Amino acid sequence: MSPSLVHQYASMQPGDFGNSIEPKWQVGGQLVAQVRTAVEKKQLTPLDGARVISAIAATLFGYDEFILREISPESLLAAAPTRK
């Protein structure tokens, strides 16, 4: 099992960042091109295409680890003002 993306990037040296991101960026670019073609051929709606691209980016770059853990429903509820 590989360590989480948060741990990988937190402990990474600045010079290693580009080499780590580049393969994911290349794969992401290929997948986005396929989604764009599917939208142009009307195999996907533009909204579905945007959702798929969002999911691709989230999967490749660890959205759930970087964003969702920082902005959890619990933290949003805790920050909400209480009504009297």
Question: Is the pLDDT higher at 45 or at 80?
Answer: 45
Contact 20, 31 (CB under 8 A): no
Q: pLDDT tens digits for 6-27?
A: 778 888 899 998 998 899 889 9
Tokens at residue 19, please?
Answer: 């080499």
Domain-by-domain residue ranges, the chain?
19-79
Residue 79's pLDDT is 59
Q: Using the structure block, give the residue that is written with the tokens 């080499």.
A: 19
Instruction: Read off the pLDDT of each residue in 1-8 and give the average, rounded to a whole number.
Output: 71
pTM more than 0.75: no
Contact 5, 60 (CB under 8 A): no
Q: Is the pLDDT of residue 67 over 60?
A: no
